[in-house]
Amino acid sequence: MNLSVTPASRLEGEVKAPASKSYTIRAVAAAMLAEGTSIINDPLFSEDTKACMLASQSLGAIIKRRENRLEINGVVGLPKKPTGIIDTLNSGTTIRLMTAIASLCQCKVTLTGDESIRKRPIEPLLDALKQVGVKAQSTKGCPPVTVEGPLLGGPCTIRGDISSQFISALLMALPLAVKDSTINITGDLKSRPYVDMTVDLLSQFKVIIRPQNHVQFIIPGDQMYKAAEYTVEGDYSSAAFILAAAALTESRVTVRNLFSGSRQADKKILAILQEMGADVSIGENEVTVTGTGRLHGIKADLGNSPDLLPITAVLGSLAEGRTLIHNTAHARLKECDRIKAMAAELKKMGADIKENPDGLDITGGRLKGTLLDSWRDHRIVMALAIAGLRAEGKTEIKDKEYVGVTFPGFVKAMTSIGAKME
């Protein structure tokens, strides 16, 4: 089904940001490993978090949904043998985390996902797991993957410039190894805040991680996750689309449930909007953007925030002057090659945009509505929908159902503040 968008000159109102996908998935995985029953308040219910819950249940967790919370009875550090292949659907985070966690089993476990997941690299994680005692194999370096414990622990080395999710996966599994472990990072650690997020979340479940300047992580072995009550904060990654829409129009929009002290990498959207000329007011638990519809181009280093590339590309295509998005080659390894996708789709709308190896070079101007491809990527769909608010004429985006991966209420949220989407 297509998403239809017509131009809007003004947006007004308040929206509650959906819960963080990244924190929800990590919290569910941690609760699955814990001793006792954990309570997860205000989790995100989406296709990606559903994938994590199903995988956790496959490994022995008992999960009950109680209105807007989850009760999760954990496996006390010993995942059970699943009855079949674990399908992580479209969730890259889930397959990376669960691959490491499944290596705690004393049996072979196979994990797979949809067509997109089966194209995403996972070999660096498997190589690291082999160094700590696990038997692991994949299909040409991508899922499906098969792992077989025991996870013994000890030293391992892994590249940091492909996906921070590999490091997060090791951080979640290695505390349950018998030996103390050390993760040594080679190259630049991309998306570093996501690793910080993992360390922060693990501390809520009484797991000790000792970071050494993000080049090494020391992990005491033979630990036990303790059940916790945890409340999931709002998602800056999803809120970025709403905040950008306000900045691109003559609008005043408040997004609630965004914590000022958040560790989320995509909180960077606030600095991007401010630098481009939007009025951004930051409260303790909310953000208000007052837009005039006039922005100017910037140089944006998205090395730690590759998920912001699609919406930053839209902002740049409608801003005055040049916007250079760089240091984000790893955005090519997401649900799709997001650099290629945004260049292709914005060109269809008339944008002056050039694809670089590590980003995009954009000269802002006007956009025209047309029929656009989704690339089966939720962030591509939402970014192009925001572009459609400022395009001349009607914009149609294929496969609107992909927004359900992280933000099922996206269209409802946007129409509630005056956007014309259906």
329-382-168-106 Cα dihedral, nearest 10 degrees? -110
Q: C-alpha distances in angstroms, 148 versus 40, 81, 105, 136, 379? A: 29, 11, 7, 6, 34
Tell me how many degrees the CA angle 239-246-405 measures, rounded to the nearest 5.
30
Kindly state the tokens that stand for 356. 């670089």
Residues with a catalytic annotation lie at: 307
Contacts of 139 (CB under 8 A, 6+ apart): 118, 145
d(CA 328, CA 322): 18
Among 246, 249, 294, which residue's Cα sits nearest to residue 270?
A: 246
Contacts of 217 (CB under 8 A, 6+ apart): 167, 170, 171, 182, 183, 185, 209, 210, 211
Residue 404, SS3 per DSSP: helix
Cβ proximity of 110 and 145 under 8 Å: yes
Burial readout 266-278 (b: 16 or more C-beta within 10 A, e: otherwise): bbbbbebbeebbb
Residue 235: Cβ-neighbour burial (10 angstroms; 0-12, 13-18, 19+): buried
Cβ proximity of 229 and 41 under 8 Å: yes
d(CA 414, CA 10): 12
Separate counts of helices (H) and strands (E) for the chain = 12, 24
